[in-house]
C-alpha cells in the first residue's frame, strides 16, 4: 500500500533541525527515524524507505504513526534493559579489516572514513551502538589514528615501483661500486615570488593574512643529491626549464667532479627529449642514466629537500622584490651545500633497502 504524507513547511524545518541535532549527538537510531519521516514527506514509498534504511516496513509505519500522535515526543528512547552489547574480539578484528579496505568497499560514498560512518557500519553489521566520541577511542585501541590523507596518482604503476626497488636499485648500487661512481638523484623546483602558504596558529575566527607582491615570476632551481657523500649540486635560473638549461647544469657538474655519474631522474620532457638523448650518448663515458617509475616523487629524496627549503624559507614569507626571493633561496641552497649529513639523512628509505 502506498501512502501520501504532507507536512507543513514548518514541520519539515523542525524535522531537519532535529536531524541535525541527532547527527551532532551521533544518535544513529534517531537519524534513521527522522530521515524516514523526511523521505516520506518528499513522496518516497514506504518500501523504498525501508530498503534504504535497512529496516522493516512495519517499523517505518510505526515511526510515522507515533510522530503523528506525539510529534517530537516520539523521538525519545527509553533505556534498554541490561548491559549494552559490545563488540567481540572477533568482531573487532573484522571491523579493523573493513576499515583498512576503505569506505567504498563497505558501500559508503567517498574515500575516507569519518566517525559517524564507522558508527553506522558497526550498528548495521553487528547491532552494537557506540556514541561518536567513543568511536575515536575504539579506533585508537584498534591501532588507528586520525590522519590527513594524501593523493596518490591513479596512473601510478605499483608493479613498476616494486621492480624499481627490488631489482633496479640494487643494480644501481652494484654498478656504482664497480665504477666508484656517484649516484645522483635529480629534480627541479620552482619558488614563486607571489609566495606560498602553509598552516599557522591564529585566533579562532581570525584567518591569518600574509602579504604578497602578486608578481607572477618564479626562481627555478636544478638540483642533484649524491647518495654516498651527501654532496648537493644546484644551479638557478630565471627562465624556463629546458633541455638546453638542463645540459648546461649537467656540464657544470661534470666540471666539479671526475667521478662517473649515475643519474636518477624522472620523466620530465626536458629530461627525455631527443636533445637530451643525444647529450647522454655523447657523454656516455661520464654519465649513466636511470629513469624513476612514473608518478613516484616519494622515491626521490631530493623532493624532501625542496619541501624543507619551502617550509623553512619561503612559506608564509613576503618577497617585495624578485631580488629578495633570489637572496633567500640562494642562502637556503648554500646551507644545504654545507650540510652533507643533513642531506644524507634524506636517504633513510634507500639506506634501509641497502641494509636489508
Q: What is the pLDDT of residues 176-189, one digit of tens each?
A: 999 999 999 999 99
Q: Is the pLDDT of residue 1 over 60?
A: no
Q: Is the pLDDT of residue 246 over 90?
A: yes
Q: d(Cα 271, Cα 247) in Å, to the nearest integer?
A: 9
The domain limits of the chain are: 9-75, 89-141, 158-199+208-355
Give the least confident one: 30-34, 92-96, 111-115, 151-155.
151-155
Band of residue 159 on the pLDDT scale cut at 50, 70, 90: confident
Q: Is the pLDDT of residue 26 over 70?
A: no
CA 9, distance to chain mean position in Å, is 42
pLDDT for 134: 85
pLDDT for 39: 84
Give the least confident one: 20-29, 133-142, 177-186, 264-273.
20-29
- Going by the DSSP 8-state scheme, the letter that residue 320 receives in this structure is S
Task: Tell me the average pLDDT across 139-146.
Answer: 88
Q: Is the pLDDT of residue 151 over 60?
A: no
Q: d(Cα 170, Cα 176) in Å, to the nearest integer?
A: 10
pLDDT for 84: 60
How distant, in Å, are the alpha carbons of 88, 187, 250, 318 from that of 127?
A: 12, 53, 65, 56
Is CATH 3.30.420.10 what the domain over 158-199+208-355 is classified as, yes or no? Answer: yes
How distant, in Å, are the alpha carbons of 121, 125, 142, 257 from that of 94?
A: 12, 10, 11, 57
Q: Is the dihedral of CA 23, 25, 28, 31 positive or negative?
A: negative
Helix, strand, or coil here: 76? coil
Q: Is the pLDDT of residue 154 over 80?
A: no
Q: d(Cα 33, Cα 63) in Å, to the nearest integer?
A: 7
Give the least confident one: 121-125, 193-197, 255-259, 277-281.
193-197
Task: Round the average pLDDT of the chain to a whole number and report it.
Answer: 85
Task: Tell me the average pLDDT across 85-112.
Answer: 85
pLDDT for 19: 82
Q: Is the pLDDT of residue 4 over 80?
A: no
Q: Is the dihedral of CA 282, 288, 292, 298 positive or negative?
A: negative
- Residue whose cell numbers read 556514541: 131
Q: How wide is the angle at C-alpha 265 spanned by C-alphas 164 and 315, nearest 5°?
A: 110
Is the pLDDT higher at 340 or at 351? 340
For the CA atoms of 140, 142, 143, 149, the dihedral, rounded to the nearest 10 degrees, stands at -70
Q: d(Cα 233, Cα 249) in Å, to the nearest integer?
A: 9
Q: Is the pLDDT of residue 289 over 90?
A: yes
Proportion of the chain above pLDDT 70, given as a percent: 90
pTM of the model: 0.58
pLDDT for 36: 85
For the segment 39-86, what is each residue's pLDDT rounded down to a tens digit?
888 888 888 888 777 778 888 888 888 888 888 888 876 555 555 668
Give the least confident one: 100-104, 210-214, 338-342.
210-214
Task: Tell me the average pLDDT across 141-164.
Answer: 72
Q: d(Cα 301, Cα 265) in Å, to the nearest integer?
A: 11
Amino acid at each position: 500500500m502506498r501512502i501520501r504524507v504532507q507536512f507543513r513547511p514548518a514541520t519539515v524545518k523542525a524535522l531537519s533541525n532535529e536531524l541535525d541535532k541527532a547527527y551532532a549527538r551521533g544518535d544513529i537510531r534517531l537519524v534513521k527515524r527522522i530521515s524516514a519521516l523526511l523521505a516520506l514527506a518528499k513522496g518516497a514509498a514506504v518500501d523504498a524507505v525501508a530498503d534504504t534504511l535497512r529496516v522493516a516496513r512495519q517499523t517505518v509505519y510505526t515511526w510515522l504513526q507515533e510522530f503523528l500522535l506525539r510529534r517530537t515526543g516520539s523521538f525519545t528512547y527509553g533505556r534498554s534493559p541490561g548491559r549494552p552489547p559490545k563488540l567481540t574480539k572477533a568482531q573487532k578484528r573484522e571491523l579493523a579489516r573493513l576499515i583498512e579496505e576503505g569506505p567504498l568497499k563497505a558501500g559508503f560514498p567517498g574515500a575516507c572514513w569519518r566517525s559517524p560512518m564507522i558508527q553506522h557500519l558497526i550498528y548495521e553489521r553487528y547491532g552494537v551502538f557506540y556514541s561518536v566520541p567513543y568511536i575515536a577511542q575504539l579506533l585508537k585501541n584498534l591501532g588507528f589514528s586520525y590522519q590527513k590523507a594524501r593523493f596518490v596518482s591513479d596512473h601510478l604503476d605499483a608493479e613498476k615501483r616494486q621492480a624499481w626497488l627490488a631489482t633496479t636499485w640494487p643494480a644501481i648500487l652494484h654498478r656504482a661500486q664497480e665504477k666508484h661512481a656517484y649516484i645522483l638523484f635529480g629534480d627541479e623546483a620552482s619558488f614563486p615570488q607571489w609566495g606560498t602558504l602553509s598552516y599557522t596558529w591564529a585566533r579562532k575566527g581570525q584567518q591569518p593574512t600574509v602579504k604578497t607582491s602578486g608578481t607572477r615570476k618564479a626562481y627555478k632551481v636544478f638540483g642533484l643529491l649524491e647518495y654516498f657523500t651527501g654532496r648537493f649540486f644546484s644551479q638557478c635560473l630565471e627562465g624556463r626549464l629546458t633541455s638546453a638549461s638542463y645540459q648546461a647544469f649537467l656540464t657544470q657538474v661534470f666540471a666539479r667532479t671526475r667521478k662517473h655519474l649515475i643519474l636518477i631522474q624522472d620523466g620530465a620532457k626536458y629530461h627525455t627529449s631527443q636533445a637530451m638523448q643525444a647529450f647522454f650518448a655523447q657523454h656516455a663515458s661520464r654519465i649513466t642514466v636511470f629513469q624513476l617509475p612514473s608518478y613516484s616523487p616519494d622515491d626521490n629524496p631530493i623532493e624532501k629537500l625542496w619541501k624543507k627549503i619551502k617550509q623553512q624559507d619561503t612559506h608564509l614569507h613576503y618577497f617585495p622584490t624578485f631580488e629578495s626571493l633570489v637572496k633567500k633561496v640562494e642562502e637556503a641552497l648554500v646551507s644545504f651545500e654545507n650540510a652533507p649529513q643533513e642531506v644524507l639523512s634524506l636517504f633513510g628509505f634507500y639506506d634501509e633497502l641497502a641494509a636489508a
